[in-house]
A and B are shown apart, each in its own frame.
Chain A
């Protein structure tokens, strides 16, 4: 048996498993991102609201999720949450890839609150005078936030948000704990089946490195092309 056999990475059953895992990891990242970003924006706006109860709810939400590790979130959504559902809903969940659904819920919430904090600091970076100007044109509060505040805040938030996306990408690996067949799960599976741990983990390492560096590279390019233009 060779020390390192790249052949198994290029074709064959193990190759297929690993690629399936990679695909699922990417899917988990993208789907969770789609939920996390709007959630983050919403929570960020709540936390910067002038209405105290909204701020309190936003803050509680963020702290409750942020201070619990992702693994514990995954365990909760997979083992505890279905118990709370009415029977029909539970049946529906179990019939439709519950590992992936629960993983997406946990990842979306976890990434969402971290994005909320990044967007919040982006919002705080925009001077209050911007909102004032928008309001004095006659725009309602929601319209002013949507059309004037958020676009600027989001641009300022893009670098930390992209950094958060890298974290989300890395965090999908933890979904293995509830049996989601993403990349780490498949790498461990290849290891158990073939004892080819070196090749499997090398594949996983390269995959994670590549996507992380691509996203970070995108952040760098974005900052160069769209620098934050202050008033």
Chain B
């Protein structure tokens, strides 16, 4: 089989796995899982980020410890913990996709928390001060003045986090999730004699997706620098 024949025969399987005859898989699963994880992680990431910059040590320190611990262990290990123990803890047999989603949301919220915290610290103090001197409480000042600016400036970092998440979904392979790397290996097993082509296509797929997104992040960063929004 040539490369073209390969693509022609298996493109649908690569794209959506066994759907509709089975659960969703393939590239579409990878993309949906990553997007959903990042979206779901945003509220938690925001809360944790705000906690990170809190002047109250009772709030700041536990979150800092959580962040350092989560960043010190491999994602795969957390995935194994979740996969082997979540059914025992919740009593429900969670699917691989759900397990992967939960772990990704956890990881993303930790990294988003750092992005949010860094963004809040980088904002000039005068912004918070002027909001507070109008009579807005701390919460209202965060909501209407600090966070809108922080999230806008943090957008390139958030897009980069999406790229990290897409790469992280590949670990689902190890617990049998039918994401795109898993499907590629299935195809390789079926075809057997074209490992190089199959895995080059897999690599190219990831490259287009991830490189495309990181270019977007780069352009967003450039646009932010060219429009100096700061008043002083």
Q: Which of A79, A191, A198 is most buried by chain B, counting CB atoms within 10 A of its CB?
A: A79
Q: Which of B72, B75, B167 is most buried by chain A, counting CB atoms within 10 A of its CB?
A: B72
In the complex, the answer to whether B185 meets A75 with C-beta atoms within 8 Å is yes
Is A138 close to B, CB under 8 A?
A: no
Considering only CB atoms, which chain B residue lies closest to A176 in the complex? B174
Taking chain A's interface residues, is the majority helix, strand, or loop, or is none over half, making it mixed?
helix
Stretch in B15-23, B35-43, B150-158, B193-201 touching the partner:
B193-201
In the complex, the answer to whether B84 meets A64 with C-beta atoms within 8 Å is no
In the complex, the answer to whether A171 meets B188 with C-beta atoms within 8 Å is no
Is A30 close to B, CB under 8 A?
A: no
Is A133 close to B, CB under 8 A?
A: no
Is A197 close to B, CB under 8 A?
A: yes
Which residues of chain B in 168-225 are interfacial with respect to chain A, using CB atoms and an 8 Å cutoff? 168, 170-171, 173-174, 181, 184-185, 188, 195-196, 198-200, 202-203, 206-207, 209-211, 214
Considering only CB atoms, which chain A residue lies closest to B193 in the complex? A83
B-chain residues with CB within 8 Å of residue A64 when the two chains form the complex: 207
In the complex, the answer to whether A71 meets B69 with C-beta atoms within 8 Å is no
With A75-B199, A201-B81 in contact, do A69 and B170 touch (Cβ < 8 Å)? yes
Q: How many A-B residue pairs have CB under 8 A?
A: 106
A-chain residues with CB within 8 Å of residue B188 when the two chains form the complex: 79
Interface membership of chain A positions 45-83, coded 1 if the CB is closer than 8 angstroms to chain B and 0 otherwise: 000000000000000000110111111110110011101
In the complex, the answer to whether B174 meets A76 with C-beta atoms within 8 Å is no
Is A105 close to B, CB under 8 A?
A: no
B-chain residues with CB within 8 Å of residue A75 when the two chains form the complex: 181, 184-185, 199, 202
Q: From residue A114, how far is it (CB to closest CB) to chain B in Å?
A: 12
In the complex, the answer to whether B77 meets A205 with C-beta atoms within 8 Å is yes
With A71-B173, A184-B80 in contact, do A80 and B167 touch (Cβ < 8 Å)? no
Tally of B interface residues using CB under 8 Å: 37
**Distance between Cα atoms of A188 and B174 in the complex (Å):** 11
In the complex, the answer to whether A68 meets B195 with C-beta atoms within 8 Å is no
Q: From residue A213, how far is it (CB to closest CB) to chain B in Å?
A: 6
A-chain residues with CB within 8 Å of residue B203 when the two chains form the complex: 68, 72-73, 76
Which residues of chain A in 206-221 are interfacial with respect to chain B, using CB atoms and an 8 Å cutoff? 208-209, 212-213, 216
Is A84 close to B, CB under 8 A?
A: yes
Q: Which of A63, A72, A188 is most buried by chain B, counting CB atoms within 10 A of its CB?
A: A72
B-chain residues with CB within 8 Å of residue A187 when the two chains form the complex: 80
The 10 A-B residue pairs with the shortest CB-CB distance in the complex, in nearest-first order? A212-B72, A67-B210, A69-B167, A170-B74, A173-B74, A69-B170, A71-B170, A80-B195, A80-B199, A76-B199
Would you list 22 pairs from A and B whose C-beta atoms are within 8 A, ordered by A residue?
A63-B207, A67-B209, A67-B214, A72-B202, A72-B206, A73-B203, A79-B188, A80-B198, A83-B195, A83-B196, A170-B75, A174-B76, A174-B174, A176-B76, A177-B174, A184-B80, A197-B85, A198-B85, A201-B80, A208-B77, A209-B72, A212-B72
